[in-house]
Structure 1
Amino acid sequence: MAATTRPGDARGSWRRDPRASVGRTYPVPAGAPAEFTIAVESHSVAVATEWEPHVHTAHELVWVRHGTLTARVGAQVFTVSEGFGLWLPAGQEHAGRLTAGVELYDAFFAPGRTTAGQTPPGLDTTTVVAMVPVLQALLVHLARPDLDPAARARAEAVVLDVLVPSDRQLAVRLPADDRVETIVEALLADPADERSLDEWARSSGTSARTITRVFRATTGLSFAQWRQAVRVHRSLELLDAGHPVQDVADELGYAHPSTFIDAFRRVMGTTPGAFAAEDGGRKP
């Protein structure tokens, strides 16, 4: 993730995984011309890697193959597996995390040079993009350093035509309230934590009623529904890494695989198998 880093508070990142490498950030992709419309780069990432909160001066579209990208953006956590990308408007602070063994792709869009200086429709905020085969192929094509200006301009115009938000917005909203911050951070770090609402209330020095009210008011979900959503989003990382449904269910604290599948369906609107098949249809 080429970017400019800046200091920030703990909100907007997450508890560091000591086993993960810390990625370096850069202002623009290596070799990008001083004036560009779309600049594309790619990297093979062998080990799990994290990026501290940072910003870009250009719009960014980031996607992966053979793994999963997780990004924390303000009061949302996005989990983006193969077949999807994440659009980040210029100036939006975010932190990132990649599973091991992925191919990472970054496309940067100069704000003043795309669509007559306007953000593409529907992309004025952080959003998930469907990485349909034609979009991926065009962006990989634009990574070539030997494209002549006319060919590059033609490809860039088509990219801007097919770049649209996905029907699936793969995000969990975080309660932006200090009274539940320790609970949120703990469950993001370990979604399988099975402490009850009363146990969380005692450990955080608040009441179960307050926790319930805060989650409902800030996320639209009950505490139990929110925790379930966090577990399902973590399952995307595990499933994409090839873990069987039984193992994923065990790791996330579900008593039976069928319980996990039901939870996945409630959150994602489909089963894990159907979701994976849908992703596969987007891969070139």
Structure 2
Amino acid sequence: MVRSSRGEASPGMWRREAGTVVRRALELPERAADSPDPFVIIAGLRVPRVPTEWAPHSHPRHELVWVRGGTLTSRVEDRVFTVSQGHGLWMPAGVVHGGRATAGAEFHDAFFAPERTPFAFAFAEPTAIAMTPLLESLLTHLSRTDLDAAARARAESVVFDVIQPSQHRLALQLPGDARIDAIAEALLDDPADCRSLEEWARWLGISDRTITRAFRLATGLSFAQWRQVLRVHRALTLLSEGLDVATVSEMLGYAQPSSFIAAFRRVMGTTPGAFFDAADGTAQGVRNPVSGVQNT
């Protein structure tokens, strides 16, 4: 569990924002209670008015969550997932996770009955999902309460045809190694901390080679690569809140915006502008799959 510099325990990875409301668990829609029902997929929507954090919990059903106009961060053991508009997160039934949503984000969720979810689509691990216009439209359609059984069955079957993992790196592996966890916690608290590998080694009283080997073994990345991925994850939240690239670059410790853009491209495979333009296009293109009417 990461603690911020203010000593607040948090299931997320970043310093908790002022005014954050902490809830014990994300409540399932009434129709997704444990009692049997005829629906494979139950979808819903909520809009947290303030930054909202959910303490570690699990659900009896598979869960797919996604946001519009904000960011969702979820902590699962030693992994942190950051999903912004255009992407979602599949959480298998029974997996303990904590989460955090930014204020004002449209927070969408869909719960899948495990016993009726095709095995090929019941991802065994938390997985970032590409929220294509068709997938989002189908799940929005399934949030309706007036669908007859045949219409619901048709929409549910198409969901399983189109759901696919995201191609972007939306998970950050935390070290989980007592020798270097203090570095990870310090950088989670302040991603702009620019101390060199040698300075971190002196701070911990160990060799820089030990730090390098520990990061490689625990995360598959060098220390410099891991810090770069962490900063890009933090940038996803800051950019989704409307901050410009120059401001985010400075906040994350980059000397020039061009350096930040290059780092973002290395991690995400595209520039910040293209990444969020694609997400905006996805949201604007969401249509009701039955009526063809644009959702607003």
Whether TM-score is above 0.5 comes out as yes
Match of 1:226 in 2: 226
SS in 2 for 1:253: coil
Q: Kindly tell me: are residues 99 and 38 of structure 1, through their superposed partners in 2, closer, same or farther at Cα, counting changes over 3 Å?
A: same
Shift of residue 195 of structure 1?
2.0
The equivalent of 1:86 in structure 2 is 89
State the partner residue of 1:263. Answer: 263
Question: Residue type matched to 1:72 in 2?
Answer: R
Give deviations 1:91-128, integer Å, cap 9, x for gaps: 1121111111100011010100122xx2516x222111
Q: Which residue of 2 aligns with 1:3?
A: none
Matches within 5 A, 1:183-202: 183-202=183-202
Separation in structure 2 between the aligned mates of residue 65 and residue 152 of structure 1, nearest angstrom: 24
Partner of 1:156: 156
Distance 1:26 1:245 in 2: 32
Between the aligned residues of both structures, percent identity stands at: 57
Note if 1:146 corresponds to 2:146.
Answer: yes
Runs of at least 5 residues in structure 1 that lack an aligned partner in the other structure = 1-9
Task: Choose 178-187 or 195-204, whichever is displaced more.
Answer: 195-204
Q: Which residue of 2 aligns with 1:4?
A: none
| Matched length | 272
**d(CA) in 2 for partners of 1:42 and 1:11?**
24
CA distance in 2: counterparts of 1:162 and 1:259, whole angstroms = 36
Matched, 1:47 2:57: no
- 1:18 Cα deviation after fit: 5.5
Deviations 1:254-282, CA, capped at 9 Å, x for gaps: 11111111111111111111111222232
CA distance in 1, matches of 2:232, 2:169: 14
Runs (5+) with no aligned partner, structure 2: 1-8, 287-296
- Which residue of the partner structure matches residue 121 of structure 2? 120
Map of 1:203-222 to 2, 5 A cutoff?
203-222=203-222
Comparing 235-244 with 165-174, greater Cα deviation is found at 165-174
Deviations 1:239-268 (A, max 9, x none): 111111110011111111111111111111
RMSD: 1.9
Cα separation, 1, equivalents of 2:110 and 2:205: 45
Residues 25 and 56, structure 2, Cα contact 8 Å, conserved in 1: no
Moved more, 104-113 or 22-31: 22-31
Q: Is the 8 A contact 1:212 1:222 kept in 2?
A: yes
TM-score norm. by structure 2 comes to 0.86
**Which residue of 2 is the match for residue 249 of structure 1?**
249
**TM-score (structure 1 length as normaliser):** 0.89
How far off is 1:11 after superposition? 9.7
